[in-house]
Amino acid sequence: MRVRHILVSLAALCVLGATAPAAFGSYQDVIRECYNTGSLPAGKYSRQELLQARKHLPSDIREYSDCEDLINAALAAGKRNSGGGGTGGGGSAPAPAPNPALTTPSGATAGSQDDLNALGQAQKQSAPPQVKIADSKLSPTTGGVIRAAKNTDVNSLPTPLLASLIALAAMALLGGTSVLRQHWPRIRRAPLRLFRR
């Protein structure tokens, strides 16, 4: 009888342990889902979790993703749905769909026609931007430190880098054969010891 009570208690703890992380999310879950999926489902996270996620959002995610905007939108949607003042029912209208005429070549949507025109003008400029360092001008076409980069294709490796990688691979191969040669007698006898047992 006592064993049955212990087993039932253990089974209940296992079920609770498996469902607890899903029921009690944290701000790390908000940040993880926002960064990995690029969206936050409405009503999945509490207001407190969203506020904590916004407060603890790492600077790189804040700068290079739209997580902060998604968290703010989820907070605003939660505020609208909680009835933030007003007597009329009906909820709020969904955000308007982006204008397909303002789509850039990369697939992003420009904020206005002026932004799209400014992007087109910037792409038409023939001279790339330059930065003056000491007495020379540096631009993406000068190659910077590695002059060979100027003569390479965008998706190919510069010759000095390729030579360095080949040299590293050769050194790793020589080091591996040296170690293998030193330990070969022991390695060779290992299978024989296994079969003798």
Each residue's pLDDT tens digit, 72-95: 888 888 776 665 544 444 444 455
Each residue's pLDDT tens digit, 145-194: 555 555 555 567 777 888 999 999 999 999 988 888 888 777 777 777 77
Which whole-number Å values give the CA distances from 74 to 32, 39, 45, 46, 60, in the listed order? 15, 10, 9, 10, 20
Alpha-carbon distance of 65 to 68, in angstroms, equals: 8
Judged by DSSP in three states, 155 sits in coil
For residue 110, the 8-state DSSP code is -
Percent of the chain with pLDDT over 70: 69
Each residue's pLDDT tens digit, 47-69: 899 999 999 989 888 888 888 88
Q: State residue 52's pLDDT score.
A: 92
Asked if residue 24 has pLDDT above 60, the reply is: no
Rounded to the nearest angstrom, the gap between the alpha carbon of residue 178 and the centroid of all alpha carbons in its chain is: 40
Residues 6+ apart with CB under 8 A from 44: 25
Three-state SS annotation for 60-107:
HHHHHCCHHHHHHHHHHHHHHHCCCCCCCCCCCCCCCCCCHHHECCCC
Asked if residue 23 has pLDDT above 50, the reply is: no
The pTM for the full model equals 0.33
Judged by DSSP in three states, 138 sits in strand
Alpha-carbon distance of 172 to 136, in angstroms, equals: 39
